[in-house]
Structures are given as C-alpha cells and as structure tokens.
Amino acid sequence: MRFLPHKNVTKTLTFKLTIGSQLIIIPLIFFLIFDNWYSINVLHKKVSESKKDTIALYMNEIDSELKSADDYLVKTLSYDMSISNLENNDSGTREIAKVNLKEDIVRAIGTYKLVDGIFVYSSTTKDYLYSFSSRTSYDERIAVAEYTSDKMDNGGSLSGLKWFSSPVDSSNYMFRILNIGSVFVGAWINLDTFIQYINDLDLSQKESFIMASSVGVPLNNADFIRSYEIDLSGDLSSYYFTGTNKNYMVIGQDSKRGDLRLTVVDSENNILEGLDQIQIVIISIALLSILCIPLTFVILMKWIFKPVTKIKHAIKMFEGGDLSYNIKVEEHPYEFMLLIDTFNHFTSQIQQLKIDVYEEQIHKQKAELQYLQMQIKPHFYLNAFNTIYSMAQMKDYSLIQDMVRSLSDYLRYMVRGNFTLVPFKDELKHVQTYLQIQKIRSGENLICHVDADQQLMNLQMPPLILHTFIENIMKHALTMYEPITVYINMALIEQENGKFACITIQDSGKGFSAEALDDINSDNDHHKDDGVSIGIWNIKQRLKLMYGNKASLTASNNAGARIMIILPTETEPIQNEYFNR
C-alpha cells in the first residue's frame, strides 16, 4: 500500500515554483549589478596591463639609450688621454687634446638617437667643446652651454649616478654630467626629443601621455595636470585613480637610469567609451526584472499550475476506478498537452520507454586538442613586429627580409589546415624557423644543435610538441648576457615491446627547480597556473590521449634542463584508432 504524506503547502508544486522562480530572479538581479561592477574593474585591469606593457617597452628602450650614453661618457672620462691633457701646461698639447676630443664627440653624437648634445668642459681653462644633433637650434645650444658652464663654474651639484631633469629657458631637459677634478663630460636631451620618440604609441589622446620627474613633477602638459589636479607621484607598480573627481587613471613606469617616469593619464570616460550604454541597459534590465516578478506568477499560474491541477485531478479519478476518464484537451504548453494526450491513451495502452544517452566525449577531447594547437601568443607577434620596426628604422632591409620570411613560415605552420599529425621534419623545420626569429631578435646568444636519425625524419607525431619546450627555453633560460645552447636529438631505440623514437631537448641553462621536476614527472592531473606547467601538462595529456601508455615524457637536469620524450614508431594504427572513432 502506498504511503503519501499529509498535504503541506510548502511541499506543493505551486509553492516551490513560486519560491524557486524568485530565488532565481532575485539573485540574477544582484548578479547583474555585481557583474557590472566586476566587469568595470576587470576592464580597468586589462587596460592598465595593456598600456603598462607598451610603456615598459618604450621605457626600456629609453633606458637602453641612456645607458649607452652613460657608457660613452664614463669611457671618455676614464680612458681618453685627451681629457687629462685638456689642462696641460703646454699650449700645443692642449690644442691637440681639444681637437681630438672635438672629433670624438662629433663622431659619437650620430650614434645616439636620443642624445641632443655632448660636451666637454674645463672650469680651469674655460674650454667648452660640444657637438649636437641636427634637430637642435642655435639658440638652444647657446642656452644649454651657458646653463651648464655656469653651474659647473659655480660648483653646482650636477654630477651624480643618474640623469636628472632641469628647466632651461622655457624647455625641460635631461642632463648627465660626470667629472674628474675640474674637467667635466656630459650629455643633454631636450624633453621634446623623448616625446617625439614615443609619439607612435597608440593612445586615444596625445595629451594623456605625460613625462614627469620621479617625484611627480610634470615635464610636459603641466597645464593639463594642474587643471584636473592630477597626482603623478603615486605608486606605479599598479594603476591608480586621481584627479578632481578621481576619474583619471594613471599608469606608468619609472626609469632605471634617471630622474624620469613615463605615464599615461586616461579619463574614465575614454576607458569606458561605448560601455556607458551597456551599463544603462544592465540597470534597466535589473529594474524590469523586479517589475516582472508579479507577471512571472501570473504566467506560472496560467501555463503550469492550471494544467498541473487538471492532471492531478485526472490521476485521482483514475485511482478512484474511473478508467474511462479523459482530460479535456485545451490550449496548454506543448509539454502538458503531450502529458494529457499520453494520459488519455493510458487506459488502453501502456508503453515502456527506454532512453539511452551517450556523450560524445571523444569529440570534446579533439576540440580541446585543436584549441591547444592553435593557441596564439600575442606577445611573440608584438615583439616580432617591434623588431621589424626597429630594423626598418635602421634600414637593415636584408635582415627585415629574413625576419619576414621566417615569420611567414612560422605563421603558415601555425594555421595549416591538417593539424592531426605531422612529420618530425616539419616540426623540426618549424622549430628552426622559430629559433631563427629569436636569433634575429636576440643576436648570437642563441645556438642550436640538431642530431636526428634520418630514418625517423618522416615519423608522424603530434604538432607543436618541440615548439612548446623550445618556447619555454626562450622564455626561462635565454638571457642577454650569456649564450644559451639548445640540443635537439632524435634516435631510434628498441625495447621489448617494439621500436621507439627517443626525442631529447636540452639547454645549457640553469635547469629545472626541484619543485618543477616533481610537478612535471608526477602522474597527477593537477598542474600549476603558469606557462611552463600548463604547456607541459597539455603535452602529457595529448600524448596520453593518442598513445596511451606507449608514450612517455620525463624531465631531468643534466648541465641544464633536459626533456626526454618516447614515442612509438608505428603511429598509423594509433592514428586510425583514435581519429576514426
């Protein structure tokens, strides 16, 4: 005998659907409001990250130029014998020293694209030797010469460890001055030269690009900064908002070589341009959702509660013995009409329905594999195009052709249509193309040795396996100061269960950390959220998916990081079994 609990309002379908719908609608309203707030914060973060990367790129180039000029000044002051002869008692020796120094600084000025002037000055003999770039004016040279010589004659504190900013007449300048005794060597840069150098930044407002001293004193667009009470002295490790209404975002980076910081000041309206209407729509939706709560109850009553009541009454009649009872057919949602029709036929026919549901897991895995293969690294392409741009500025057309050809081959491989399996020789050629691009960018610090068994060159293998590890080497092992050597070896080995290809990738860097080795060599499915672990984890998953336990990947340290991959040479059966399912 069936047991039914006593009727409880809280357990009825009417109550549950009414309360359940509200429990869905009300949180959704709050979610819309929270999502609006969260999206704005995410947008702020993404905008700041994008602009900070661009600022860092240009500031690093500026610092590189300043360092080159520093090195020249130190070298001249320390090793040029003409410096010590500039105050020699013999007039002939002094004249020869002045001629030599003049020729040297004239040659030097052409090698620095940021430096506007280089000078040598003796406060004893009052000899002032200088060279200048073609973008400077005569009045500007005279003003700078008078300013620097006056400061040095009067014992002004001009020398130091970094470049420093100072106004001369109506312009701002960066100075670097070194001295031994009463002999000074120095260089100067007009702030307009910096502005012109970075004028190609893709910003919506040219006036939002501000250069300031390390303590936040604006060196350009000072009227704009004062008008909106913008503070440029904040912490640049992250973005911050300032201004009259706290509606200006400041993003920037300090120079490592001088009293200078490069910032972008952007208004909230520019950042949220086009999103203000979306915010209005979101708020309107939230208000309409609140107003629709009563309407929801009416709809539930008409489309759900009424047909459910009719079906419940028919079931009671059927249980009471009225097997001929039919539910009156009326206009209801399709699902309820189907239930009513089924009930009306229930007295004459009972059918047993079985539904088997299968999930096409393999299609999902193949889709994930394609996604992993077609990942694009925007920073790689940004750096490549910046390198081409720099070479174009230097008019190195031959190197530009090599770079563009290599980048074209790289892109062709990445977007090729058939990305199931590729021959090892194609993967190796792609890696060599990638290394060639990196070598053009990094100079001779990159050396690659390949030793591959020729009979394995046509071995079919998953694409981008070598590329992932080579990319990790470029990211974590390559430095500007020490050359890095990459070894790629592929050999045929025989084991009890067949023939295998052993692929070894090794570099001459510092190797893996103990924690990284444990993470790579473990069989756990978890992985850290960083580029190295995710990339290697993806490769292990792909090898496991395609080869099962016939393939393996191990990491070790042997005078550098080493990765060993074992692949079966008989790939055709595996390929057919996997991709024809």
In angstroms, the CA 549 to CA 544 distance is 7
pLDDT tens digits for 334-365?
666 777 777 666 655 533 333 333 334 444 44
**Is the Cβ–Cβ distance between 266 and 248 less than 8 Å?**
yes
Q: Which backbone phi and psi does 303 adopt, to 5 degrees? A: -95, -20
**Is the Cβ–Cβ distance between 120 and 82 less than 8 Å?**
no
Question: Over pLDDT 90: what percentage of the chain?
Answer: 9
**Is the Cβ–Cβ distance between 101 and 84 less than 8 Å?**
no
pLDDT tens digits for 507-527?
888 888 888 888 888 876 555
Give the pLDDT of residue 525. Answer: 56
Q: Lowest-pLDDT range, 30-34, 53-57, 266-270?
A: 30-34
More confident residue, 107 or 293: 107
Question: Which of 502, 525, 511, 524 shows the shortest CA–CA distance to 555?
Answer: 511
In angstroms, the CA 491 to CA 501 distance is 6
In angstroms, the CA 174 to CA 166 distance is 6
In angstroms, the CA 484 to CA 511 distance is 12
**Is the Cβ–Cβ distance between 186 and 148 less than 8 Å?**
yes
Give the pLDDT of residue 188. Answer: 92
pLDDT tens digits for 205-228?
444 678 888 888 888 888 888 888
Give the Å distances, CA to CA, from 480 to 440, 442, 444, 507: 13, 7, 10, 16
154 by DSSP, 3-state: which? coil
283 by DSSP, 3-state: which? helix
Region for residue 216 given its phi and psi (left: phi exceeds 0; alpha: psi -120 to 50; beta: otherwise): left
Give the Å distances, CA to CA, from 298 to 47, 285, 294, 548: 45, 20, 7, 57
pTM above 0.85, yes or no: no
In angstroms, the CA 252 to CA 113 distance is 23
- 184-209 in b/e burial notation, b at 16+ Cβ within 10 A? bbbbbbbbebbbeebeeeebeeeebb
Average pLDDT over residues 534-561: 81
pLDDT tens digits for 1-14?
344 445 555 555 56
In angstroms, the CA 581 to CA 44 distance is 46
At 373, is the pLDDT very low, low, confident or very high (cuts 50, 70, 90)?
very low
Q: What tokens were used for 424?
A: 């090892």
What structural domains and CATH numbers belong to the chain? 1-273 (3.30.450.220), 293-352 (no CATH), 363-579 (3.30.565.10)
Q: Lowest-pLDDT range, 39-48, 119-128, 258-267, 390-399?
A: 390-399
Q: Lowest-pLDDT range, 422-426, 452-456, 529-533?
A: 529-533
